[in-house]
Amino acid sequence: MQLYNTLTRDVSEFIPIEASKVSMYVCGATVQGNPHIGHMRAAVVFDLLRRWFSHNGFEVRFVRNVTDIDDKILHTAVHENRPWFEVAAHYEREFTNAYNALGILPPSVEPRATGHITQMVELIQDLIDRDMAYEIDGDVYFAVDKYAAYGELSNQKLDQLMVSEDSAERNKHFKHDFALWKKVEDQPTWPTPWGEGRPGWHIECSAMARFYLGKKFDIHGGGLDLAFPHHENEIAQSKAAGDNFAQRWLHSAWVTQSGEKMSKSLGNSLQVQEVLKLVSGMELRYYLLSAHYRSMLEYSPAALTEAATGFNRITSFVSRGQELIEVSDGSLPKDFITAMDDDLNLPIALGVLYETVRRGNTALAENDLDSLRLALTEVIEMLNVLGLSQGAIATENTHQIIDGLVQALLTEREAARARKDFATADALRDKLIAAGLTIEDTATGVRWSITR
C-alpha cells in the first residue's frame, strides 16, 4: 500500500512498525459548537483508511481525542450562559451523533484532554529537564529556537514564520515560543509544580499519543488546517522530549465554499444537523468521499444533490438485484484494490464502483443472473469497504416500505382498469408519476422505479 507523507512530501510504501498492526492518532473535535461538514470530511477520510487497513487484515488501534477545555469553549460557555463542562459535554454528543449518522466507526479509545492533565504535566516537566522549555511566572513555554528541525512539517523556515501565538504574551524568550502551560486565575484550573493554570492546546495530543500509542507509532492524521501550528508544535515538543513520535503524517484537504475554507470563524459553515435535513447520512458520506482526500472539495447544493442522486442509483441497483438473487460474500475488483492501495485514490475507486453498477444494470435488463450475481457481490463488497453498506440496507428497507404503498395504489389502478374506469386509472398513474416514480406496464405486470 502506498501512502502520502506530509513530512516528506512524497508517496511511499506503508510499512507498519509492528507486522499486522497499525497504530493511528487522529486529532478530533474541539467541542465548542456543532460539527460542520468540514469536520466530517477529515473524520470520514480517516475512518476509510482505518477500514481499508482492517479489510487487509491489520489490527488497528485508532485513537481520536476530544479537546474539552479550550479558550473557545470558555467563550461559548459565557455566550450560552452555562458551565463550560456542560457546553463541552453537549457538543461532544453532537459530534458523536454526526459520526454515527455518517457511519464512522467508534475509535479504539476517545480520550478527553481534561482526563490527561497528569500526562501533560509529566511531559512538560520532561521538556524543562531537557532545557527545551522554560517557566516564567507560572507560564511554561517551549523553546522553539532550540529545536533545529522546527518547520519541517509545514516546510517553512523559522525566520519566515508569522508569529503563531500572541507575541505580547509576557516574558517569552523568543517570539515563536508557544505555551505548554498557561497561568490563569479564572476557573477551571489545575494544580501543577508551576502553579494553577490550564494546558496549552498542543501539549494534549503529544501527551495522549504517548500514553495510548507509545513513544513511536505509525500514523498521525488530521485536517490540513492542523498542519501548522498544531502538528508542527506536536512534533517539536514530542521529539525534543525524546519520542520518535509519528512515522507518517496524513492530512485531509478542506471542504471549501466559494473557494474559502469552511469554518465557524468565516460564518460559512454548514452544520451537519442541517445538511442531514437535505440528504441522508450515507449520501453525505458518499459526497465527502467523492474527491481525493488531498484535494479540496468545493461545496455547493448542486454538488451535494448530484452526489445523493448518484449514490441512490447505486443503492437502487442493490435493492433491485437483491429482489432477484441471494448473494454471499464476494471479492473486490482488482482495479478497485489497486486504486485504494494507491494513496486511497477514491476518484478511480468510485469509477470502478460506477462501472460495476452499470454492468449490473445491464445484466438486470437482460435477465442475466450469473452476471448480475457477480456485479452485485462486487458492489456490496465495495460499499462495505467504503462504509456505505448501511445506506444500501436502509435503502432496501425504505424500498420495501414504499413498494407496499405503491403496490396498493397499483392494485387500485388495476381494479379501475378492469371496470373500465380509465379516468380513475389514469389519475392514479399521474399521481405516482408526479411523486417521482416511473410506471411501466409490461407483459409480466406493472413495474415501478424511482425516476432519475
pLDDT at 318 over 50: yes
Question: Which of these ranges, 183-187, 234-238, 262-266, 364-368, has the smallest mean pLDDT?
Answer: 262-266
- Cα separation, 278 vs 62, in Å, equals 31
Q: Which CATH class is domain 300-387?
A: mainly alpha
Cα dihedral sign, 49-50-55-56? positive
Around Cβ 434, how many Cβ atoms within 10 Å? 8
Would you place residue 400 in the very low, low, confident or very high pLDDT band (cuts 50, 70, 90)?
A: low
| 2-261: CATH number | 3.40.50.620
**pLDDT at residue number 408:** 84
What is the largest distance, in Å, between two alpha-carbon atoms of the chain?
95
Residue appearing with cell numbers 494553577:
196
User: 444 falls in which pLDDT band (50, 70, 90)?
Assistant: low
Summarize pLDDT for 367-398 with one digit per residue, the tens: 999 999 999 999 999 999 999 987 655 544 45
- Residue 263 above 80 pLDDT? no
Question: Which value, in Å, is the radius of gyration of the alpha carbons in the chain?
Answer: 27
Query: Where in the chain is CATH 1.20.120.640?
Result: 300-387
What is the model's pLDDT at position 398?
53
Domain span(s) for CATH 3.40.50.620 in the chain: 2-261
406 touches 432 (CB < 8 A): yes
Could you report the per-residue pLDDT of 102-118, keeping only the tens digit for each?
999 999 999 999 999 99
The tens digit of pLDDT for each residue in 43-87 reads: 999 999 999 999 999 999 999 999 999 999 999 999 999 999 999
- 167-202 pLDDT, tens digit per residue, is 445 679 999 999 999 999 888 999 999 999 999 999
SS3 of residue 252 by DSSP: strand
pLDDT reported for residue 169: 55
* CA–CA gap between residue 122 and residue 110 (Å, rounded): 20
